[in-house]
């Protein structure tokens, strides 16, 4: 009877991430005894927190993200009087396993390999300016402030590819788990039935000079690259390996066919797996007389020619050939290339400067009779920051739109007094007069 499989590796996750909303700016005026005309003193809102992926070597997989799919950072604090600025929102730290790749918002991609690496996958929204920021020689008592902006938000996909130097591949029951147990201190499940290994199992091979990580990949069968069997789910983990140890049961019914079937799946999957250096291991040599095992090594060496690093015959049961395999791996697996990381910025830009060029440009389009639409990231953010129900805020917004050329562009498109303007989610009227 086949025992029930109780464990599962979660190497994929889809989660919703949301940066914190920025705090609103404050409308306040200094009011103290014997201080006439104290003037505006509203503080700025704090920036919202970020959602940050953090590479944590203590994490085995992405299982916990299947239980917590919605992750949001804290919102920024609102500004207060006496020029007190709101606190920055708390970041939401998301620990993930080394080897995690993320397909983020707006097509951004991240890869976390080294412990402590971080990636901001949803930035917090900017905080709004308080009314102190809008005081000028001609506007000495502004009674409006900016609203904080929403942070980035959306669904992202995570994919884990285990970090291993050597990948053990082969058909089911080729002896991969037994060999991993012999070479390392790992304790993979070993049994007589096929597909005993249902998730990659890692082990460490050590010497005085170096250390290698070995991964036991679930058995591959014909059609694995198209989804057959269990191995197709884990072929992606092989991409990170620098050497493949291909196990073939030397006492099996068709060792040559088994080898060719696995090679075909590696080629079919793509991603350069077929180009990885391969060490062929004839497993279960204890089932053959010593002379026959030696003859099989010579035969396979002639068949593969220079297509393999070496051909070895081993027995995980008796230990024959295991030490030789250990030496070959430690000597022939190339050193890992150095991982380069991008330095974190030394400061954060808390506020946006609106310019009519580049990404802050805009387009004006007539969408109906007396209705015009203005599109542009900077212009839309500018409108979202202000309360159009506040007359002073509306006058300030109209002044800014005039300064950056939006009203001139509307006039050129045929805009007249009384027509409707749509910017983002807001619809309102403007005075196109000079």
Tell me the two tokens of residue 124: 């917090």
Cβ–Cβ < 8 Å for 45, 23: yes
Residue 103 pLDDT:
92
Which residue has 């929204």 as its token pair? 125
Greater model confidence, 10 or 126? 126
Rg, the chain, Cα only: 32
Residue 186 pLDDT:
55
pLDDT in tens, 244-285: 999 999 888 888 988 988 888 888 877 778 888 899 999 989
Tell me the two tokens of residue 229: 């069997």
Distance from C-alpha of 171 to C-alpha of 177, rounded to nearest angstrom: 12
pLDDT of 3 higher than 60: no
pLDDT averaged over every residue in the chain = 82
Spell out the domains of the chain, with CATH numbers in brackets.
10-160 (2.70.210.12), 166-332 (3.40.50.300), 358-429 (3.30.300.350)
Residue 229 pLDDT:
43
Confidence of residue 152 (pLDDT cuts 50, 70, 90): very high
Task: Please give the average per-residue pLDDT across 326-346, as a whole number.
Answer: 63
Residue 306 pLDDT:
78
| Minimum mean pLDDT range among 195-204, 266-275, 298-307, 378-387 | 195-204
| Minimum mean pLDDT range among 4-8, 323-327, 335-339 | 4-8
Per cent of the chain over pLDDT 70 is: 84
> Is 0.85 surpassed by the pTM of this model?
no
Distance from C-alpha of 326 to C-alpha of 31, rounded to nearest angstrom: 80
Task: Please give the average per-residue pLDDT across 141-145, as a whole number.
Answer: 94
Length of the chain: 434
pLDDT of 202 higher than 80: no
| Minimum mean pLDDT range among 27-41, 231-245, 284-298 | 231-245
pLDDT of 12 higher than 70: yes
Task: Please give the average per-residue pLDDT across 212-239, as a whole number.
Answer: 62
Confidence of residue 341 (pLDDT cuts 50, 70, 90): very low
pLDDT in tens, 93-102: 999 988 899 9
Distance from C-alpha of 376 to C-alpha of 246, rounded to nearest angstrom: 55
| Minimum mean pLDDT range among 16-30, 101-115, 348-362 | 348-362
pLDDT of 2 higher than 70: no
Task: Please give the average per-residue pLDDT across 57-73, as a whole number.
Answer: 87
Rounded to 10 deg, the angle between the 391-403 and 377-384 helix axes is 160
Cβ–Cβ < 8 Å for 197, 219: yes
Distance from C-alpha of 25 to C-alpha of 42, rounded to nearest angstrom: 7
pLDDT of 396 higher than 90: yes
Residue 263 pLDDT:
87
- What does each C-alpha distance from 381 to 128, 138, 290, 343, 372 come to in angstroms? 11, 25, 77, 29, 18
Cβ–Cβ < 8 Å for 210, 136: no
């Amino acid at each position: 009877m086949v025992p029930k499989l109780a464990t599962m590796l979660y190497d994929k996750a889809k989660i919703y991430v949301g940066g914190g909303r920025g705090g609103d700016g404050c409308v306040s005026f200094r009011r103290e005894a014997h201080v006439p005309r104290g003037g505006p003193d509203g503080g700025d809102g704090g920036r919202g927190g970020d959602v940050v992926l953090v590479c944590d070597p203590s994490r085995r997989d992405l299982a916990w993200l299947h239980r917590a799919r919605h992750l949001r950072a804290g919102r920024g604090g609102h500004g207060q009087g006496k020029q007190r600025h709101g606190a920055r929102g708390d970041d939401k730290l998301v620990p993930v396993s080394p080897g995690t790749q993320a397909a983020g918002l707006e097509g951004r991609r991240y890869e976390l390999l080294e412990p402590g690496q971080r990636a901001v996958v949803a930035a917090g929204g900017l905080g709004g300016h308080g009314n102190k920021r809008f005081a000028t020689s001609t506007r000495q008592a502004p009674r409006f402030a900016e609203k904080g902006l929403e942070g980035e938000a959306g669904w992202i996909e995570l994919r884990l590819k285990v970090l291993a130097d050597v990948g053990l591949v082969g058909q089911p029951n080729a002896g991969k788990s037994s060999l991993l147990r012999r070479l390392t201190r790992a304790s993979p499940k070993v049994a007589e039935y096929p597909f005993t290994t249902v998730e990659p199992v890692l082990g460490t091979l050590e010497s005085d000079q170096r250390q290698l990580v070995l991964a036991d990949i679930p058995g591959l069968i014909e059609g694995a690259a198209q989804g057959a069997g269990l191995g197709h789910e884990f072929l992606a983990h092989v991409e990170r390996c620098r050497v493949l140890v291909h196990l073939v049961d030397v006492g099996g019914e068709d060792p040559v066919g088994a080898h060719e079937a696995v090679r075909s799946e590696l080629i079919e999957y793509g991603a350069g797996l077929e180009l990885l250096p391969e060490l062929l291991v004839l497993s279960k040599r204890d089932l053959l007389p010593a002379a026959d095992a030696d003859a099989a090594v010579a035969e396979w060496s002639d068949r593969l020619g220079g297509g393999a690093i070496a051909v070895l015959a081993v027995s995980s049961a008796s230990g024959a050939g295991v030490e030789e395999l250990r030496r070959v791996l430690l000597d022939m697996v190339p050193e890992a290339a150095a991982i380069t990381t991008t330095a974190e910025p030394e400061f954060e830009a808390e506020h946006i400067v609106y310019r009519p060029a580049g990404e802050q440009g805009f387009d004006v389009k007539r969408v109906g009779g007396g209705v015009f639409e203005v599109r542009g990231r900077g212009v839309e953010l500018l409108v979202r920051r202000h309360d159009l129900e506040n007359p002073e805020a509306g006058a300030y917004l109209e002044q800014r739109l005039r300064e950056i050329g939006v009203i001139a562009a509307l006039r050129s498109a045929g805009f007249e007094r009384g027509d409707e303007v749509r910017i983002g989610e807001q619809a309102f009227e403007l005075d196109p007069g000079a």
